[in-house]
Amino acid sequence: MTTTTEHQTSYRIGYIVGSPAAASINRRLAGALVRLAPAELQLEEIPISDLPFYSYEHDDDYPQVARDLKQAIADVDAVIVLTPEYNRSVPGFLKNALDWASRPYGENSFADKATAIIGASPGAIGTALAQQHLRSILAYCGARQLTTPEAYIQMTPGLVEDDGTVTVESTEEFLRTWLDALADHVRRSLAPTPQA
């Protein structure tokens, strides 16, 4: 997880792309975040595409792919969730992964985990409603959420190139600001709690 050199602390940040589509605009946004992240944030994907549908019938014998998901979340200092918006909410694909991560009872991977939400959509509201629902889910799971700045990205054609380059200066500046806020959120989340 956290590594410290003589002059720099580095944080491992996992990111979950909430769409199974190879050409997902949220996957493209993830590429931009990887490219723009400050040196102290080391971003790595937490894959969710191989998860079967969650059922409580698995709680006594979790499949390996679900154990791998839970371990990947445990191994990072924070998780970024990139959500599309389907029918004014989060995709079932993403919700399924969150259900796996939060079970079985008493083994919720998101409890006290620093998290951040961002999302891209072609529409002007840029996943705002999906993010509201996602915040409720993560709040129930006890995640420590980055609440500001909120990040609703309207993904217009050419905004992010294949290599993660952001072509609009104001959007690049905003994403850098958001990543800096995430770094501060992670530092605060991992800081020792003062003893009374």
Is residue 63 helix, strand or coil? coil
What pLDDT does residue 7 have? 54
d(CA 102, CA 177): 30
Per the confidence metrics, is the pTM higher than 0.85?
A: yes
For the record, the structure tokens of 17 come out as 């792309």
As a whole number, mean pLDDT of residues 100-126 equals 96
**Six-digit token string for 38:** 């400050």
Both structure tokens of 148: 């500001």
Closest CA relative to residue 182, chosen from 151, 137, 136, 152: 151
Q: Each residue of 22-34: pLDDT tens digit?
A: 999 999 999 999 9
At 78, list the tokens. 């924070």
pLDDT in tens, 64-80: 999 999 999 999 999 99
Cβ–Cβ < 8 Å for 91, 16: no
171 SS3 class: helix
Q: What is the DSSP pairing of strand 3-4 with strand 9-17?
A: antiparallel
- Reported in sequence order, the residue ranges of the chain that DSSP labels E, i.e. its strands, are 3-4, 9-17, 41-45, 78-82, 114-121, 144-145, 152-154
Q: Count of H helices and E strands in the chain? A: 5, 7
Across all residues in the chain, what is the average pLDDT?
95
Cα 51 from Cα 44, distance rounded (Å): 18
pLDDT, tens digit (0-9, with 9 covering 90-100), for 3-22: 765 556 899 999 999 999 99
- Give the DSSP letter of residue 195: P
CA 94 from chain centre, in angstroms, equals 11
